[in-house]
Structure 1
Amino acid sequence: MLPTPTGTPFTFGYATVLAGTSLVVACADPALVHALHQGSSTDVVHLVRTPGLVSVASALWVAGGNVSPYAVCFLLVLTALERRIGGLRAAGVFLLGHLPATLATEVPVGFAVLAGLLTPWLRRSVLVLFGGMLVQDLVDFADPMTSWGRLISLAIGIATWPLTRRRYRARTAP
């Protein structure tokens, strides 16, 4: 059930990396930890500037540390998956889960922020269409976790409109 270097090298290696970063979080200066978290954040700005780097760097951190229920369950499931399909395929499944989930939450935020810069008529039209599509996904209940994540992301993007428009006006003012 537990990862081993020979039986599940991908999971064991990844668990070792997570243990290392969790140790950094527990022992390092809080300012350094904050800077590392900020630098590896998969926010819209980082995804536009350095998509590859932050996509990899964001996978180095686990919420709650190595002993969190999430981390323990994740490693047990990844171990079982790797034993069944092999390390390379397990790594592929991991990446297919990590990258699209990141994009699924951040693209709506970026879209919503940029929509705030459109003219009022166009902004409302785009949001009605996009928001309607997201609500329909939720009603279909095919993937409620992703659907809620996208709606929350859209709401976060809309909440940033006052700040975005203020900065945009300040930059474009004569």
Structure 2
Amino acid sequence: MWLAVLFVTTVALHHMSPESEQEFLRQRSTNIHELSRHPVRVLVASAMWIDGGYWLPYAVLYSVFHAQAERWLGTARWLAVCVAAHVLATLISEGALAKAIRDGLAPQSAVNTLDVGVSYALSGVVAVLVYRIRPPWRYGYLAAVLVFYGFPLTVGPTFTDFGHFVSFLVGLACYPLVRGRERQRNPKETVPVPPG
């Protein structure tokens, strides 16, 4: 369903002029200005748009990561990981940006920075899938994902890079939601044992 909503909203964006698109997305952005005025509305609305406007690459990522996590965890637990990663990473990264503005490390205009999209939820799901992979492959996957989200913080980090890393950590912290499912197989993968 979420993927279908993202398809519709992406098509809608492609029918707007660049100026209209920017203003439209800014009102749904989880930037400091909008979060201080309409926190719940923008936290929900920002998760209904794809930053960059290209649906097909996200559909592939959705199939590779989200679909696997939902099938493994069930819809409620998968959604809990998505919401936790999206909300906590947004609030923490925007809080860090607000502090940078107060300390004079970022311009005042950064309170209106465009910040929409589903990438924080994706980062959290990518991280929680660490627990789905059996050792020793788990550690290779974890190292690769850690480098993918950690490296940008070492070379000119942005608040979005910081948010992606935070959402990765949130996904790892969702272990209580996966406890007991680490080695659980999909029933379709189980080979039936013939009787006696």
Q: Which TM class, normalised by the smaller chain length?
A: 0.5 to 0.7
Measured on the aligned residues, the alpha-carbon RMSD in Å equals: 2.9
**Counterpart selection for 1:59 from 34, 44, 47:** 47
TM-score scaled by length of structure 1: 0.57
Amino acid across the alignment from 1:16:
A
Q: In 1, distance between residues paired with 2:40 and 2:6?
A: 19
Question: What does residue 102 of structure 1 align with?
Answer: 90
What are the residue-to-residue correspondences of 1:1-174 with 2, within 5 Å?
13-63=1-51, 64-68=53-57, 70-116=58-104, 144=150, 152-153=158-159
Question: What does residue 135 of structure 2 align with?
Answer: none
In the superposition, relative to structure 1, how do residues 148 and 16 fare at CA in structure 2: closer, same or farther (>3 Å)? farther
Amino acid across the alignment from 2:23:
A
Query: Sequence identity of aligned pairs in percent?
Result: 27
Amino acid across the alignment from 1:144:
G
In the superposition, relative to structure 1, how do residues 51 and 18 fare at CA in structure 2: closer, same or farther (>3 Å)? same
How far does residue 74 in structure 1 lie from its aligned partner after superposition? 2.9
Alignment deviations for residues 139-159 of structure 1 (CA, whole Å, 9 cap, x no partner): xx8972695699533xxxxxx
Question: What does residue 188 of structure 2 align with?
Answer: none
TM-score scaled by length of structure 2: 0.52
Residue 18 of structure 1 contacts residue 62 of structure 1 at CA under 8 Å; is this kept in 2?
A: yes
How far does residue 16 in structure 1 lie from its aligned partner after superposition? 0.8
Q: Considering fraction of residues, name the structure with more helix.
A: 1
In the superposition, relative to structure 1, how do residues 146 and 88 fare at CA in structure 2: closer, same or farther (>3 Å)? farther
Q: In 2, distance between residues paired with 1:149 and 1:107?
A: 21
In the superposition, relative to structure 1, how do residues 66 and 29 fare at CA in structure 2: closer, same or farther (>3 Å)? same
* Pair member with larger Rg: 1
In the superposition, relative to structure 1, how do residues 62 and 71 fare at CA in structure 2: closer, same or farther (>3 Å)? farther
Whose relative contact order is higher, 1 or 2, with alpha carbons under 8 Å and at least 6 apart? 2
Aligned residues: 118
In the superposition, relative to structure 1, how do residues 47 and 65 fare at CA in structure 2: closer, same or farther (>3 Å)? same
Residue 104 of structure 1 contacts residue 150 of structure 1 at CA under 8 Å; is this kept in 2?
A: no
